[in-house]
Chains A and B, each alone.
Chain A
C-alpha cells in the first residue's frame, strides 16, 4: 500500500514526489508515456538532442539569491544552483509592425524601452508593475479577475497592452485571449522582472536531477503506466486502475494531469465538464548549417506579431503564422559558444486539424 500515488511524471509530478519522499512517504509516480517530462520533455533524433516545450527557464535569479521562486524551488528540492548549469539570456524582443520592445533579465531594459517608445505610458507602466499580485497571492480571492480588464484600466495605449500580453500569453496562456490577473502577475514577474535562462544541456538536465533525487529518496517511478480510472470510496480517492487493468491502492492520490482529465478519471461524464482548452502550438525546429546569429537572429527569443492587434486564439487553419515565438538555444550567455545551430519557431495551431491529418497518414 502506497501513501501517495502521483499521476503524471511531468515537472509537477516529479517535484511533488520529491517533497513527499522527503517526508518519508511511500510514493509511486505513474506515467503513461515512455519517458518523463510531460510538456517539458526531450527526444533524440539522428544523434541530436531536441527539447520539447522549454525554450527557457523563467524566474531567472543569479546565484546567491535566496528569496525568489527559483531559490525556494531549489531549496525545497534540495538541489544546488550550479547543478542546473544555467546560462542567462542574451536579450529578447517583442516585435510588432514598426514598434519593437527589447527586454533582458531584470526590468531595466524594458522600462527604458517603454519610456522611449511609449513616453506617455511610462508612469502608467510603473503603476502596472506596482499593482502586480505577489506570488503568495496566487489563487487568493480578488485575483480572479480578467487581466485585460485590469491592465486596460492602468495602461491606455492598446498597442503597448498587446505587446506586453504577447510573451505572457505565449508562455503561460492556456485559454484564448485573456488570463486571470493573478496568473498574469506571476508570468509578468517571471518573464519581465526576473527573466530567462537555459540549462546548458537543455531540459534533460532538470529532469535528470529530479528523477535522480526522487529515486535516491526511495521513490518509485513507473513509465508506460497510464491511469484509466481513479478508484473512489465514499467520495475519497483510494487508488487507481491502470490501462492494463492492474489496481493499485493508496491512502492518497495526487494528480498533475489537469483538473478536467482528473475529474473524468473520477467518473464525471465528459458532458458535465467544461470544454477542454482550445490553445495548441506547433513548433518547428530547424538544424541550420550556420549559427542563427549569422542569419540575423541574435536574440534569445523574438515574440512577433504582424499587426497591431494580437490574436491569441485557436486558428481555423492548421497553423496561424501571423504571430509566434522564434527562439534559439544557441543564444544564451554560455561560458563557451553553444554551436547547436538550432532555430525554433512556435505558432498557434488547431489541434483537431493536426490530429485528423495524423490519423490519415
Chain B
C-alpha cells in the first residue's frame, strides 16, 4: 500500500529541479514576514485560508504542487529528496499560510490514495492540489476522544444513501474547509472496532450545523458539528463498509508521518497546536526586555529551553531513519509526537518563569504579554492529535512491547457496551 510509487526513470534530476524551483520561487513567492506578523495573520482564518488557496493555486500552476503525488492525479511524481530541496528553496518565502493544507495534503490525500476508488481519487486529489478543496477529519466526539472506537455517530444505510446522525468535535478549521472524512458507526451488533465506516462528507451539506469553539484564549480554530439526517451517497464511502477502523489507522499513520516531517505534504508542517509556539529568539528577547538576562537562574532555564528546542531535529532524524529501516515499528512516530509535546509544553512553562510578573499583563499580541496568553493553551499540544497518555500507551505497548492494558469492551457487541454503560 505505497501511496506514491515513483518510477525512477522519468524523474527530473535534483539539480535541474532545484534550479527551476529557485528561479520560480524568486519570481512568484513573496518573502517571509516576521514571526509576530505571521502569528497575527494566522488568527484571521478567513483571510488566511483565502490566501492559502490563492498561493496553492499559484504553486499548482507553476508545476510544483504535490511533489510526491502521482502525476495521474495532478502531482509531480517526484521524490522525498525533491521535497526536501523544495523546503529549502522556499524556506525564506511567505508560505506560512500553506499550513492550512497540511492536513489535506499530508493526511487526507494520502489516505484517499490508499483506500479511495479511482473515481474518488480523480475527483478529489487534483482539486486538493489545486487549492480548491480543503479537507478535515471528523473523528473525535464529545464522548469519544482517546477511545475513538467507542464513538456514537450513526450512519444508517437506507438504499443508496447513509443517513448520518450524531456529532463531532475538535475538527480544526472545519468552518473554512470543504470536505471531511467522517468516521461513523454502521453496525451496532459487532464489537466496537468492527462496525465503523469512513465516509466523505461535503461539510456544508444540508443537515450539518457547524459551530466554532472559543478556546480560553479567545482563539477559535477548533469546531464542532451536529448532524441531523445528513444524506451521504453510498459511493462516498472510503474503503469497505465496517472497515473504517482500518482506514482510520492508516490515516493516523499518515498523521504521524506528517508530524515527523515526512509526509506527502510539501511544506514542513509542525504538529497540531504548534502555531502558538514561541521561538528561541522570542524567549531571548523576553529575558532582555524584562531585564533578567544576566540572572543565573534565568540563564539555566533558557539553556534548558534551547536544549529542548535543538534536540528535536536530531531525535526526528533518528526515529525516522530507524522506522525506515524497520528497526522501529510505525508507532515509533509516537516518540516524536511525545517529544515535541513535552518539549513545547516545557518551553512555555519556562517562558512563564523567565517573564515572571511581566507576562501576566498585556494582550495576546504583546511581545511580553503574548507569552502569558500562549501559556494558557500550552496544553493543546499535549492533548490534541492524540494525548500524551495515548502516545505513552503506544510507545510502551507497540514500541517497547510491554503488556497491553486490559480493555473489557473490545470483544462485546457495541450495543451491549452501551447498555452496560447506562446501568
Q: Do A and B come from one complex?
A: no
Interface residues of B (CB under 8 A from A): none
Interface residues of A (CB under 8 A from B): none
